[in-house]
Structure 1
């Protein structure tokens, strides 16, 4: 089967002008050009166009897309790339479904003359850490923690945020007060920090998985030290680095304890 420019454009939801532009810049060649000058696109071209459209959705400029597609590839590499793109699309679908459910809830409640739940109304609209959590810990971790968070009332969410802010503020007070990461005060607060993590469903600490918890805390310690967002959250770069070092020291002892100890 072969499609002309117009036929392919209609099926792909793009313009014929876009396809011709892709041809001109060498991004998408037709499978053949007929004696009449018409471009004909077959399986190979359509497969490449699928990847172009997927990559374009991520915001990559055409020059970067061309570089990605021009890299040497094998069927195995292509399968791996498509698998990653499929996971990304599935993640977007989950986010869209949550937004649809939120709007349907509001519409249903309003139609019945009832007040919609405020926490449900915003599901899917405030999950700004979704991609980061999924990339690091997987879809299950995100769903568990997301449901746990949205299951709280507004008052409970405010209380949780206040506790979190107090937790980080205490790190800054310890650092500014001259404590060292290995001091009793710092290590006691590191233990409190871990207990705070255990409350969050979807985390290895909540599940009591010592090995994965150690990896998670090491990764977070690195983020505390290098990510400017955490520097702001802790109040200063020095406080964030202090907390990171104290947590690194604290988790060393977990290597010598059985997994069940993490939940005690």
Structure 2
């Protein structure tokens, strides 16, 4: 079974000139050429055209598309790659739609939507680490929980977070020890704050894994430069770590 260049162009929504251009580039050869010079395309050629158009819609250049197709000898593997690319594109569009919706809501409510946390999601930057430590469910449910919040609810969460950070900074400046009552009260508050995030060990009530989670985060606070910036200074982040580790130790 073969179709003429005009039939394929019409069904694919492209021009015959485009298909001839793809032929000139070696990107899409017709399956046969008639004595009259007409190009014909069989199902294999049409499937390749479909892949070309999908990759083009994803923004790849023709040179990049050629490279992808040349690397894809296995048709099933190539189709799986297409699915992956389309899912990534869907996620990108979902994020853009979400950003526009939040901009609309910000105009309506008068809330400043410029905070990074409102734009990139709750735990998106740490996806790989969250999945590795606590599983895909922990990441996805936390992600959905965050994106399910209204802009006002996200701002309120950010405000509570800022207040918690300020409490840690005040406790450190006061010169108390990580094991002192004030620091341990903030540590308990910090753990309750973490427990609001669904599908985490704290939210699930898994005591052993909760202790592991808090210890892991405590060490991250002191080791990751981003968290040192969050708490204002490496010394404060280390204070938070020591207080949280002591808090978990007292769980027994």
| Cα distance, 1:70 vs structure 2 | 0.8
Match of 2:159 among 159, 162, 167: 162
1:199–1:44: structure 2 CA closer, same or farther, 3 Å change rule? same
3-state secondary structure, aligned to 1:40:
strand
Query: In the alignment, is the contact (CA less than 8 A) between 2:27 and 2:66 conserved in 1?
Result: yes
What is the TM-score when the length of structure 1 is the normalising length?
A: 0.55
Provide the rounded CA distance (Å) in 1 between the counterparts of 2:76 and 2:172: 50
Partner of 1:37: 37
Provide the rounded CA distance (Å) in 2 between the counterparts of 1:66 and 1:91: 25
Partner of 2:230: 234
Provide the rounded CA distance (Å) in 2 between the counterparts of 1:191 and 1:80: 46
Match of 2:195 among 189, 194, 198: 198
What is the TM-score when the length of structure 2 is the normalising length?
A: 0.57
Query: In the alignment, is the contact (CA less than 8 A) between 1:145 and 1:202 conserved in 2?
Result: no
1:7-37 CA-partner distances (Å, limit 9, x unpaired): 2222222233322222222222222222222
Query: In the alignment, is the contact (CA less than 8 A) between 2:141 and 2:198 conserved in 1?
Result: no
Partner of 1:21: 21
CA RMSD of aligned residues (A): 5.2
1:88–1:157: structure 2 CA closer, same or farther, 3 Å change rule? closer
Query: In the alignment, is the contact (CA less than 8 A) between 1:8 and 1:41 conserved in 2?
Result: yes
Residue correspondence of structure 1 range 1-264 to structure 2 within 5 A: 1-88=1-88, 91=91, 128-129=120-121, 132=124, 137=136, 141-147=142-148, 149-150=149-150, 154=152, 156-167=153-164, 193=190, 195-201=192-198, 206-207=203-204, 210=209, 214=213, 221=220, 225=224, 230=226, 234=230, 239=234, 242=237, 246=241
Provide the rounded CA distance (Å) in 1 between the counterparts of 2:27 and 2:142: 38
Provide the rounded CA distance (Å) in 1 between the counterparts of 2:70 and 2:91: 27
Query: In the alignment, is the contact (CA less than 8 A) between 1:167 and 1:193 conserved in 2?
Result: yes
| Cα distance, 1:6 vs structure 2 | 2.6
1:166–1:96: structure 2 CA closer, same or farther, 3 Å change rule? closer
For the pair shown, the structure with the greater C-alpha radius of gyration is 2
1:63–1:162: structure 2 CA closer, same or farther, 3 Å change rule? same
Runs of at least 5 residues in structure 1 that lack an aligned partner in the other structure:
107-116
3-state secondary structure, aligned to 2:40:
strand
1:64-97 CA-partner distances (Å, limit 9, x unpaired): 2221111153245234323424534665787799
Query: In the alignment, is the contact (CA less than 8 A) between 1:3 and 1:41 conserved in 2?
Result: yes
Query: In the alignment, is the contact (CA less than 8 A) between 1:145 and 1:201 conserved in 2?
Result: no
3-state secondary structure, aligned to 2:197:
coil
Provide the rounded CA distance (Å) in 2 between the counterparts of 1:42 and 1:241: 67
